[in-house]
Amino acid sequence: MRFVHILKLIFISVISGVITMSSCSNDDDLGKELEGFNRKALLENTVDYVIIPQIYQFDKQLNMLKVVVEQFTMNPTLLNLELAKKQWVRLMKEWKDCELHNYGKINESFIYDKLDTWPSNSNFIERFISSNDSIDENYISFKGTSSKGLPSIEYFLFGETGNSLTVLDSFMLSPVSRRRKQYLNATVADAITQSHNLLSLWRNDYRNSFIEGDGNNLKGSINLLVNQMTFLSENVLKTKLGKPMGKNNGLAPDSSLLEARASKQSLSHIKRNVLSLKNAFHCLDTNNNNLVGVDDYLTHTLGNEELTERIRNQFNVLDVSLNQINESLATALINQPQELENAYQELKKLLILIKVDMSSSLSILITFNDNDGD
């Protein structure tokens, strides 16, 4: 890995020399060339080898979920329920890789809100199921974001506590079991529509403007990416980990505040979020190839690898810390408080490196409110 970084630095230096000697007729392009780093290539790598492949994998897993959910609703057995639950877990790992990239036109589309607003509102969902309205995908599309999307699918498959027998009874013995099946199938169908829209938006619309937005300004794509890296880091620290630990209010730990509590995937989601940050920083493709990315831009800007290496090392330290938690987060809140505290502190260090050190080094202005994600 170290050898690869050295080769990348040599490549960047050679390209810098060639670009500096070349002439240019456009003042804006001249400024970019004289900076000696091809930001457009960084953005192209990020969208073509990181973002779009991640969304494609999510879309693929979501379509597989549709198959097993339909199988379960047609034949509600314990085996079919377990198959649907396992597929939801696989699906969410792919989604947590995608969660980072909600900015620009993607954010303006509100697709992420429609796919992943948590926690789901079970009271609303049960009220809709108990109504007399016809339930189909169109019906779901007009419902609020907390009554559909991936967290709502978790509610249907795992219930409030994750008890499979209770869930199975709700699909077999409940007076509204038929409507429950309809609501679940329609929710999955709506999620697939949103996933298709997301993939299409990146491929056919936002991709080119994202790559062309290589300026070093508030609307520049690197600025948007680093801002979102900061936001996700802070959201994981404060909301996904800090709140359940009681960090935000000084109260006792509260497992009801965990993301994906019923499915016991809270820790897995945090790990995948951290992995997505690492992939974005190093521009790691689906084969784990290290392409020219934000790490190289940071090294080029500072003229050395010191800060880049610190961030790289902190990702590794954080991975080790998270892997020390060998229970679900709900039980770890009780049984492994020190391990959780260690992970919290290491995540906090990563946040500071991204939000303060890296952002200032790249002249990135953090524009979201510090209370976002609280």
Instruction: Indicate if 259 and 331 belong to the same structural domain.
Output: yes
Q: Nearest 5 degrees, angle CA 76-CA 79-CA 80?
A: 50
Domain extent for 268: 216-374
- Whether the pLDDT of residue 10 is over 60: the answer is no
**Tokens coding 27:** 């003042």
Instruction: Indicate if 19 and 68 belong to the same structural domain.
Output: no
Please state the pTM of the whole predicted model.
Answer: 0.89
For residue 45, is it within any domain? no
Specify the pLDDT at position 69.
98
Q: Write the CATH number for 352.
A: 1.20.1420.20
Long-range residue pairs from 179-184, CB within 8 A, at least 24 positions apart, any chain: 179/129, 179/130, 179/135, 180/129, 180/156, 181/73, 181/76, 182/135, 182/136, 183/125, 183/128, 183/129, 183/135, 183/140, 183/156, 184/69, 184/73, 184/153, 184/156, 184/157
Instruction: Indicate if 26 and 55 belong to the same structural domain.
Output: no
- Whether the pLDDT of residue 121 is over 60: the answer is yes
Instruction: Indicate if 276 and 338 belong to the same structural domain.
Output: yes
Task: Count up the domains in the chain and report the number.
Answer: 3
For residue 44, is it within any domain? no
Condensed to tens digits (0 to 9), the pLDDT of residues 226-283 reads 999 999 999 999 999 999 999 988 889 999 999 999 999 999 999 999 999 999 999 9
Instruction: Indicate if 179 and 262 belong to the same structural domain.
Output: no
| Residue that terminates a domain, selected from 195, 214, 233 | 214
Instruction: Indicate if 97 and 244 belong to the same structural domain.
Output: no
For residue 42, is it within any domain? no
Average pLDDT, the chain: 90
Condensed to tens digits (0 to 9), the pLDDT of residues 189-204 reads 999 999 999 999 999 9
Specify the pLDDT at position 36.
81
Query: What is the number of alpha carbons within 13 Å of residue 196 lying toward its C-beta?
Result: 7
Instruction: Indicate if 60 and 177 belong to the same structural domain.
Output: yes
Instruction: Indicate if 252 and 365 belong to the same structural domain.
Output: yes
